[in-house]
Amino acid sequence: MKCRADLRVCLNCAHHDPRVAQQCRERRAEPVLEKHVGNFCEYFEFASRVWTLKSKTNQREAAAREHLKKLFGD
């Protein structure tokens, strides 16, 4: 996401599914052509997702934490 980006878009909706017709599991919703652009849909519901890191150990972060530990004597 970038600053001033629309959040209420089909791609952020819990009903969005690229594998179904019109890419929406809510059958009562009107079709939206541009899924990445803000729109009004009375069935919109923010998708709850679990965010995970691609790499469990980030070498740069680990080095920075070690440096801070040494700096503050922890």
> What pLDDT digit, counting tens, does each position of 35-62 carry?
999 999 999 999 998 877 666 667 888 8
CA 18 to chain centre: 15
Pull the structure tokens for residue 12.
């952020």
Q: Given this model, what pLDDT does residue 32 score? A: 94
Residue 47 in contact with residue 41, Cβ under 8 Å? Answer: no
Cβ-count burial of 29 within 10 angstroms (0-12 exposed, 13-18 middle, 19+ buried)? middle
Per-residue pLDDT band for 4 (boundaries 50, 70, 90) equals confident
Pull the structure tokens for residue 65.
């934490």
Q: Given this model, what pLDDT does residue 52 score? A: 72
Q: Given this model, what pLDDT does residue 49 score? A: 82
Kindly report, residue by residue over 15-42, the tens digit of the pLDDT.
999 999 999 999 999 999 999 999 999 9
